[in-house]
Structure 1
């Protein structure tokens, strides 16, 4: 995977930051770069942004994507948090844009392949990413970002802790959980079998039997008892049914008689109220006739009061009209007097207009003259400023040319210096190559001699072993039995059993020493071959060519080194050159602005001169401004006073006319209303007189009394209606009851009622007896059914226990064997430890390719079965020819070991993913323990690694010492207010 573009917005400490194609082009070109900056500035956040864009995850499991949103967005609500990442992988360009959940918006993701949108669905994008890399987010982090601290902790910790850390780093805890799972399952299965046997014994005890056959016999007996009790219950139920039917018939007859006697009693009581009902009917008829005339009496009283009120109001309106007529006449006289002065005010208005125009022209001319004087002053100042800027520009240009010339010379000096160092280094490499090549030839000769010795010793040892075998065979020969070798039946003298053993042991020890020496010689030769291969790659030129180039470079260096330079470093020249260019650009802009300002001032000055000339021509005679102002003020006040008086009198006139019209209208309305009320009064009185003439009421007092009682009329009518309804209902119900009693041969009298009550009592007693006997049988049946149900459940539970026990007894041996196999009790190695051991061996084999390179062939990890060493990590030191633990390495050496181990782990994880390699690798911190010499060697080794493998290697560190050692530096500048930013710098 090759990064091409990264845009971070509202993410971590960044507000808006872009690493564009130009920056990544330089990164790909140099292949080794440094991400530098203060602690907390956001160096590792660059990786977090890439991880979030691709997988939608945070680098720490306790964080969510929402936690990555920048806290700076509180001050910049218009910025929406998002990450855009473009990368090249397997020949295709991919683009991912991902936004975390923010405020009310849900998280979104978009994936483009080439220039086509692939998907905007999170599930589809995640599936495509997994298919592409073959890794999840956690695995990608271990492959793409190497956390030095974690790997260093693994190497330097105790073996027990090392195993736990290794499990955590490579997520192999699942294997431990698998081992524990099968162990717990076997234990649980055994406990379950024991529990089932206990349950079986307990079940027999509850069933009160000693064996299952007795339980079956008990079930048969209980079933027979159940059938017998149910037959008896059936007979009792039928008898109870007949008894209940007889009781029901008697109760119905008794109820009929009781109801009939009650109706006769109610009807008799109702008949006593007939005289009272007749008197109430007469009263209701009178009130009904009066009900229609009630509104007339009320209206009559109301109209009398209203007519009296309207007469008083009419007199008030008449007085108001007279007063308003007098006020209106006086106001009209004042208006006529004011209209006579209208012609005089018109002349004053014309005079005011002329004087105002003259004053405005005079003021405008004076303002233009002041502006003209100011423009002349600005013109002179601008001209002087322009001359000063042009002079400063010439001085700066000369300084810039001098700085550029010195920079080019210093750049040549640095390039020659670097070339000199390279040539000297190549010459030292070449001499070391010759020396080590001679040593290798000597080692090869020594190896041939040792192999000849080993061949001789092996041959002698094999010969003696055959003789020793013949002696062992002869020990078992008996007289008369043929020898398996010669066939002889006689064996006169048997040799001693341990005749050749001392010689064999001596040869065996000599052979082991020779083989050990051969192994050591091979390792030494292999180490020398590795160093020779490295030196050969470092030097591609001949010695004469290197020396000639060295002489020419030293001559050029001597010429340049004598010159004096303003600054010691190129960056200072570049900084000064940039400053001068910025100053020149600023002066050029200032010069253009001043020239434009001069042109604008000239144009304005000419325009103002023309305006002043025209205004002076308009003012023929010189006038006094103060006098004009006084005359304008006097005329304005006179006109204003006239207009105010005129408006005030007109408003008063209109108001008086409006009020007068209102009062006159009210006066006419009141007259008309009094007339109408009088006519209504006569009509209402006529209606009430008709009631007295009809002799329903004697006088108006009686009519008023009747009107007060009309409110009770609905109650009287309801009372009459309820009486008639109840009498009709009782009569009808009594008739129907007598007919029904006649059908049942019953007579409505108290003697019949008494006889029925006695018969019903006897039937109820008989029913109670049957019910008591039935309850007893049902109780017995319940007991039997409960025992039967319990026994059936016991038998069913026994069958289930028996079935489950058989399955567990078949399953347990296999599960126990599998648990023992995984835990390693039979093989002395657990499955988890075996897998970790093999995994670690793969990593060490891959790490050795880096470790040997970083240490120039001195160190390599000891490979093999790590489990047998109980996770003790060792290195082989070719300088001493012995092995020792990793923790005995120095600080710088342990750093190189951790880096090699981390790179090996990354390669193994990528290999297991079965996908293409990732071209890019980030190394996070861990350089603080290195001295300057080791630091230079590490950087050079990383540069060689990037050139040899084609990988792009980035180092994340806050160490300032590293800034000058890397060809390319991305510096993260911390800014708590406006967010971190990134500045790129190249070291030539």
Structure 2
């Protein structure tokens, strides 16, 4: 991953800043600036853009929002980076508390590809996408690509437990722990399954049902040596229960037949008694119904009167409604007459206003023409402050002329110095190539030296293993001889464990009958056997165990010897002393080349600096000339604008003109508003007057129609009252309003219908019954109840017996199935136990699978780191893994071996500069080892924050050379430091300056 461009908005001390890394791609650069200027904030911005977190784990997101950001300003970072030949851009905004809002504004994130297409637009989506692209999480990124201030030496000085977490995260070895845990869980599950099967077989057998038979209960509670014997017992129980069920079925069938005959007899008699009771109830109901006759007669009279009045219902209701409408219309006509008189008076007042506006119309038209002719001088911003702008432009033109003359003189002096410096690119590249080749050769020599040291260790291990094999062979022969001697001293070949099986088999043998095991015909029964004593058995077991352990140890030793012989057989051997002499000569040659390279670098750096100054001055002069030309053109344009303004407006001052313009425009606007309002009122007055006239005419017409209708309805009502002597109009309306008439008619009809039904029902029942007396049933029902109880008891007994037989058959099937699975699972569990012991460290080496992998990675990292550390410390210090006590949380401690004192030292005994050297080489080694291990991870950048101030000049030179070596291999290396010497050595410097707490960053 290489940064291409970084943009920061209200991030830390940066308000609006953009840093272009593309110009120094594949180079080393220094970030320089005063303390607190915001150098580390650049690393924070890169880390935050990628992961939404900062470059150090002890700082929070809220600490990097600019203190000078306003409430509405958004803090954000935007990073464009390149990885594996493709570019991506991430933009993130910080969360912040906005005034007036209870909850903080949430952060946002989005990632684009090089075509500008949005790949993800959510916080979690961007997080997962970055992990997919870079293959590192935030902690791994800080450990490998960014070495932040305060965390630089974290891996070096951390405890063994902390290193385990770091290495486990980087190299993802937690999968081995998960594998071990899963194996242990699987082993426990398998063992539980086997125990469960055995206990389940016993539990199932104990749940057999004996059907209440004591002899069968005894069979179930007895002990059985095998599952096969249990299955035979189940068959015996089932046969006995089957006979019992057959007898119970026959008795139950006879009892059900007698019960059905008695039930039919009782049912016939009960049906007769129900009909007698129904006849008595119906006669009583008819008597009660006829008692309602007087009430029905009153309802019939009311219904008759209602129907007579209904003949004039329309006339009664119409007369009442017409009287009400007549009074309403009279009131409405009076109101409309009053409103019409008021409307005529308002019309006269409105006409006077229109006449006054017409008198002012000519003045209005004159003002409109003047405004249209001069309006452009108000809208054009160029006329707002024309005199002041013209004076400023003339002053700027004079200043630019003077600046241009000074820069021309400065450019001539810089070009002269640049021409005097000689530097040849071919010569510099030749020296660098020669040094790189020499370093490569010295690295190969070091590898050969290390291999020879390792081969010497293998030689020693081979001799030890050969001696161990000879010793084990001798012990094995002695054990076999002791076993043979013991076997000759005893007379029997059968142990006490075989006794029960042998005697059980003899009981089932008979002369002339087939053997139940091998099916061969038995000729002669075996005689009484002799068996081993418990002491003899224990001794034989001890000897067999000892012999098996010796064989296992011998196999392991032979396997290890074969591995070492294979390693040594493929190795080419060298003389260590000759290799060390060659290495010293190569290192001396590299030192000489480095001196010559540095001299060339100084000349090249100065020449590049002068060329940059020339380019900068030329660019400044060209820009100055362009700016001068623009200013001259502006002066001419401003003078032309002033002349045009004075000619058109007849005003010399813009302010006087604007006041006159606004005064006339206000008068025009007021006239237009008054004219529009008067026209609107005139139209509204005419519309209202027209509506009033229409309403008066319509109301008078309706009143005449109502009076005509009343003249027809009233005589009809008067005639009805006179003919029927029915009282006044209110009493007639009360009769019509009776809403219960329909219900009264239904009651009358229902009364006569129900009376006919009851009489018909009595006639039918008297025709069916032979007598009206009830028949007694108590004695027969009591006998039926007794029979039904006996049937229910027999049915329940039969059902329970059937369920027990079925239950026993199910138990037999389950026991048979469990027995067949038990034997196969037992073999799998034994193999699994051996695998678990090997992975979890219960082996000869006492090393678990993950611990073995972690120590391998740490040894590999230390080997890579020591190549650089030995060179930096003049072959004094070497990092080594401590070989002390090892368990899951130890064994990863790092110590330093001091070749000057020929002993190991604790890492804390190193000085500040030595600690920095060790930390730097370890970080570079971790970077390299991880990239070798994970091919999908692209580690093209390293950013280092501080630490160089503790180094002496020689060590500093060595550290810089190491980083230059990284840079030449294609990495971008960035350093934050206050060391002045680094500024002189670095070709690319990102200078961070702070003014009034606001910072800027520019390459120079």
Tell me the TM-score normalised to structure 2 length: 0.60
Distance 2:686 2:837 in 1: 122
Equivalent runs, 1:542-691 vs 2, <5 Å: 592-607=633-648, 670=703, 673-686=706-719
Report what 1:834 is aligned to.
852
| Equivalent residue number for residue 311 of structure 2 | 292
CA distance in 2, matches of 1:914, 1:329: 100
Instruction: Supply the distance in 2 between the matched residues of 1:700 and 1:49 (Cα, whole angstroms).
Output: 99
CA contact (8 A) 2:408 2:621 kept: no
Maintained 8 Å contact 2:945/2:975 = yes
- CA separation of 1:709/1:843 partners in 2, compared to 1, >3 Å: closer, same or farther? closer
Matches of 1:913 and 1:862 in 2, distance apart?
A: 24
- The correspondence for 1:824, drawn from 835, 841, 855, is 841
SS across alignment from 2:43? coil
2: CA distance between counterparts of 1:197 and 1:266? Answer: 78
String of CA shifts for 1:2-22, please: whole Å, max 9, x gaps. Answer: 6656678999999986555xx
Q: 1:945 Cα deviation (Å)? A: 0.8
The reply to whether residue 750 of structure 1 matches residue 772 of structure 2 is yes
Residue 723 (1) aligns with residue 756 (2): no
> How many Å apart are 1:922 and its aligned residue?
1.3
Q: CA deviation at 1:767?
A: 2.4
Q: Is the 8 A contact 1:7 1:85 kept in 2?
A: no
SS in 1 for 2:221: coil
- 5 Å-filtered alignment, 1:308-347, equals none
Q: Tell me how far apart the structure 2 counterparts of residues 109 and 707 of structure 1 sit (CA, whole Å).
A: 88
Answer whether contact 2:241 2:801 (CA < 8 A) is retained: yes
Q: Is the 8 A contact 1:58 1:65 kept in 2?
A: yes
Deviation at 1:703, TM superposition (A): 8.0
Contact 1:920 1:951 in 2 (8 A): yes
Matches within 5 A, 1:15-54: 20=20, 23-28=21-26, 30-32=27-29, 34=31, 38=38, 41-47=41-47, 49=49
1:850 maps to: 868
- Alpha-carbon distance in 2 for matches of 1:804, 1:70: 71
> Where does structure 2 lack aligned partners over 5 or more consecutive residues?
95-104, 208-219, 225-229, 374-382, 443-448, 450-573, 654-663
Verify: 1:96 aligned to 2:114, yes or no: no
Structure 2 Cα separation of the partners of residues 244 and 675 of structure 1: 88
| TM-aligned CA distance change 1:81 to 1:299, over 3 Å | farther
Alignment of 1:949-960 (within 5 A): 950-955=969-974, 957=976
Q: What is the aligned partner in structure 2 of residue 762 from structure 1? A: 779
Deviates more, 1:725-734 or 1:932-941: 932-941
Equivalent in 525, 534, 543 of residue 590 of structure 2: 534
Partner residue, 2:945: 925
Matched, 1:525 2:581: yes
CA distance in 2, matches of 1:388, 1:104: 50
Note if contact 2:40-2:976 (Cα within 8 Å) is conserved in structure 1: no
For residues 235-275 of structure 1, give each alpha carbon's deviation from its aligned partner in whole angstroms, at most 9, with x where no partner exists. 44444444444444433333333323333443455456667
Provide closer, same or farther for how the CA distance between residues 409 and 675 of structure 1 changes in structure 2, counting only shifts above 3 A: same
Task: Specify the alignment match of 2:223 in structure 1.
Answer: 210
Say if 1:907 and 1:712 are closer, same or farther in 2 by CA, change over 3 A: closer
- Deviation string 1:733-760 (CA, Å, 9 cap, x unpaired) is 4455456x2xxxx33x531xx12xx13x
For residues 681 and 910 of structure 2, what CA distance do their matches in structure 1 show?
A: 111
The answer to which of 229-238 and 323-332 deviates more is: 323-332
- Structure 2: distance between partners of 1:807 and 1:245: 64
Q: Where in structure 1 are there 5+ consecutive unaligned residues?
A: 366-374, 438-446, 448-517, 561-567, 613-628
C-alpha displacement of 1:83: 5.5
Q: Deviations over 1:566-588 (max 9, x none)?
A: xx999999999999999988777
* Partner in structure 2 of residue 482 of structure 1: none
* Distance apart, 1:769 and its partner CA: 0.6
Q: Tell which deviates more after alignment, 249-258 or 964-973.
A: 964-973
Q: Provide the aligned C-alpha RMSD in A.
A: 6.7
8 Å CA contact 2:7, 2:79 repeated in 1: yes
Q: Return the alpha-carbon distance in structure 2 between the equivalents of residues 899 and 172 of structure 1.
A: 24
Pairwise CA distance, 1:313: 6.6
CA distance in 2, matches of 1:237, 1:209: 40
CA apart distance, 1:765: 1.5
With over 3 angstroms needed to count, the CA separation of the structure-2 counterparts of 1:405 and 1:165, relative to structure 1, is same
Is structure 2 residue 987 aligned with structure 1 residue 967? yes
> 2-side partners of 1:72 and 1:104: how far apart?
20
Write out per-residue CA displacement over residues 337-378 of structure 1, whole angstroms, 9 at most, x where no aligned residue.
Answer: x99xx9xx99x988x88999999999999xxxxxxxxx9x98
**What per-residue deviation string (whole Å, max 9, x for no partner) do you get for residues 680-706 of structure 1?**
2124334555x54xxxx6777998499
**Alpha-carbon spacing, 1:184–1:86, altered in 2? closer, same or farther (3 Å):** closer
Label 1:538 to 1:185 Cα distance change in 2 as closer, same or farther (>3 A). Answer: same
Q: Distance between the aligned counterparts of 1:866 and 1:329, measured in 2?
A: 119
1:200 and 1:905 mapped to 2: Cα distance?
A: 58
**Alignment coverage as a number of residue pairs:** 792
| Offset at residue 955 of structure 1 (A) | 2.9
* SS of match in other structure, 1:674: helix
1:176 aligns with 177
SS in 2 for 1:824: coil
1:41 aligns to what SS in structure 2?
helix
Relative distance call for 1:150 and 1:660 in structure 2 (3 A) is closer
**Aligned residue in 1 for 2:563:** none
Aligned equivalents of 1:293 and 1:942: distance in 2? Answer: 124
Specify the SS of the correspondent of 2:950.
Answer: coil
SS of corresponding position for 2:87: strand
Residue matched to 2:279: 260
List aligned pairs for 1:70-149, cutoff 5 A.
84-87=80-83, 89=84, 93-96=85-88, 111=113, 135=135, 141=141, 145-147=145-147
Does residue 155 (structure 1) correspond to residue 156 (structure 2)? The answer is: yes
Residue 172 of structure 1 and its aligned partner are, at CA, apart by 1.9
Which moved further from structure 2: 223-232 or 790-799? 790-799
Contact 2:9 2:15 in 1 (8 A): yes
1-side partners of 2:942 and 2:254: how far apart? 96
Question: How far apart, CA to CA, are the structure 2 residues paired with 1:170 and 1:651?
Answer: 89
Tell me the CA shift for residue 967 of structure 1. Answer: 2.5
Q: Indicate how the Cα distance of structure 1 residues 723 and 527 shifts in structure 2: closer, same or farther if over 3 A, else same.
A: same
Deviation at 1:947, TM superposition (A): 5.4
Q: Are residues 235 and 891 of structure 1, via their aligned partners in 2, closer, same or farther at CA, if it must alter by over 3 Å?
A: farther
> How far, CA to CA, are the matches of 1:330 and 1:884 in structure 2?
118
For 1:320 and 1:386, locate their aligned partners in 2 and report how far apart those are by CA, in whole Å: 77
- Separation of aligned partners in 2, 1:110 and 1:217: 80
Go from structure 1 to structure 2 and tell me whether the alpha carbon gap of 1:871 and 1:804 turns closer, same or farther (over 3 Å shift). Answer: same
Structure 1 residue 720: Cα displacement: 1.5
Aligned to 1:750, the other structure's residue is in SS state coil
Shift of 1:902: 2.5
SS of residue matched to 1:817: helix
2:826 counterpart residue number: 809
The Cα offsets for residues 608-641 of structure 1, whole Å up to 9 and x where unpaired, read as 66999xxxxxxxxxxxxxxxx9xx9xxx9xxx9x
Aligned mates of 1:408, 1:104 — CA distance in 2? 55
1:905 to 909, 914, 926: 926
The alpha-carbon deviation at position 903 of structure 1 amounts to: 2.2
Is 1:400 aligned with 2:407? yes
